[in-house]
Amino acid sequence: MTFQSLVDDFLEHEFALSPIRASQLGLTQYDERFDELSAASFEARDAEAAEWLQRFDAVAEGELTPAEQIDRELIRAVLRGRLILADWQDWRRDPATYTNPALDGIFTLFLHRLRPEADLIAAAIARMREIPRALQEGRANLDPALAHPLILRRGAGAARGGARYLRELLPADVAPGEGRDRLAAAGADAGRAMEEWAAHLERLAEVATGTWQLGEARYTRLLRDRELLEIDTRGLRERGRAEYDRLAAEMAEVARRARGTDDWATVLEEAGHDHPPTEEAMRQGYADWTARARAFLARTGLVTLPPGERCVVEPSPVFQRPVLGVASYNAPPSFSDSWTGHFFVPFAPDGTPAEEVQQRLEANSWGDIPTTSVHEAYPGHHWHLVMRKRNPSRVRRVFGTPYFTEGWALYAERVMRERGFFTDPIQELCHLNATLFRAARIIVDTSLHMGEMTYDEAVEFMRTKAGLPEPTAKAEVGRYCSWPTQASAYLTGCLEILRIRRDWLAARGLRGVAPADAPVAALREFHDTITESGALPLGLAERVMIRQRPA
């Protein structure tokens, strides 16, 4: 069997295991199918991961092209990550395992609209009919001795938002007529199942005694064997602390330039009061700055803009609002003709008190919006992921790591500052604060999962050290508890990309040249090459870039 045949078999196996994921990638032949979420299916996946890893381990690297070698190493890293987490059994702990496929599998059908509306309605109805079965499997699988009340209550909030989406918002997204009526009827049944699921999760939370602490050993193994980083959990925390201190010193300097004081925290607090008055005004502000960032790239030539790409700025999906208090992005499907991405602005959950809405708006001040627009759109997530879509490798369009995707988006903020996009010192200060926030995330995420920080201590840390309003801090920490290692990806990945850039430029005779003075053509080549390579673990991304260096 050739390597490409092995890859094709592996990908087809992956798509059969998760047809919803396949559908999100643009493989529309999976649109009517739903994932199998029984205990037996999860246990089989772990056994199959070990078998697939053995098969890819057996492939001799010398028989592969350089691109195939990277593909093989990416698959092996993914499989090792699964095996590291096999005994954690997240499917017994986190209701998102069942809620997310049920909601995302329908939402993305209508977000990207890769088929005629009648076909989308039929696919959505087929999937909604499977939701009661999927949630029943969740009831059977979730174990109150393993699940933590915090994670269960987060899941209940998402389920309630999902119920409203299925009952009310989804039918309104299609043209009036018989199709809408059938969609509404199916949505009413699925929404009822979601409400019952939410009530079950609330009851389960009352008796749950489990933990969300991943543990230091697992965390370190993920860093080394999945992310291919030469660091352990404690070393990563120390890196976060060092960066926090360095950034705080730089922020004092910028605050002095902006307001004549070293007290950057007070300057930021005052700047937070200057925010959009409404959520819709916030969305419009993000849309304006997204357009400015794209225009800056077109004018400077800092990157290549693929033809046909565009980024739409819109409110966050209703069912995401209870569990995600920050901006997010959804890329165009990898295997489709679409080049349109969606930048979701963080609207508050339904029923949020007006006072809390204003607190959330403070976290999206006029000074913050430029940096977030860069991070989510240009040249951050949107630009990177449309560049990744150009890679011919199916493997690299399916698999990736947040240590690259989030690291790249934070690097994008950095390079835009280096090249003069932020013209107001308050904008610069907000950009630095966004990076300091990611340093705080490393400290908190590692400490939480090593068992050396409680949830309440983490909320207080993010409130006082990262300047988050309390509702946002709570949403953030809940996210870290339910998604270990992801919060550390941003700054860790950014620092690795900066190191790779430094070495890459040095190999072209540009050692010691300030980033603001580096030739734009050299930077464009670096940016285009590393992003087109995919969203690789940073060790693999470095291998790709080493091969691009002049002899």
Cβ(439)–Cβ(244) below 8 Å? yes
- How many whole angstroms from its chain centre is CA 514? 31
Structure tokens that stand for 257 in this block: 């330039």
Residue 493 CB contacts under 8 Å (≥ 6 apart), including other chains? 402, 403, 404, 405, 406, 407, 408, 410, 411, 538
Residue type, 421: F
Q: What is the pLDDT of residue 350?
A: 83
Cβ(39)–Cβ(141) below 8 Å? yes
Q: Using one digit for the tens of pLDDT, what is the confidence trace for 200-259? A: 999 999 999 999 999 999 999 999 999 999 999 999 999 999 999 999 999 999 999 999
Residue 548 CB contacts under 8 Å (≥ 6 apart), including other chains? 504, 529
Q: What is the pLDDT of residue 549?
A: 59
Give the C-alpha distances (Å, rounded to integers) separating 218 from 89, 210, 485.
13, 17, 10
Q: Tokens 């913050």 — which residue?
A: 368
Total H helices, total E strands in the chain? 23, 3
Stretches in the chain below the pLDDT threshold 70: 323, 549-551
Structure tokens that stand for 132 in this block: 């009661």
Would you say the pTM of this structure is higher than 0.85? yes
Cβ(162)–Cβ(102) below 8 Å? yes
For residue 128, which of 154, 162, 153 has the smallest C-alpha distance? Answer: 162
Q: What is the pLDDT of residue 321?
A: 82
Structure tokens that stand for 283 in this block: 């969305």
Q: What is the pLDDT of residue 551?
A: 46
Q: Using one digit for the tens of pLDDT, what is the confidence trace for 69-95? A: 999 999 999 999 999 999 999 999 999
Q: With 0-12 CB in 10 A as exposed, 13-18 as middle and 19+ as buried, what is 492? A: buried
Residue type, 446: T
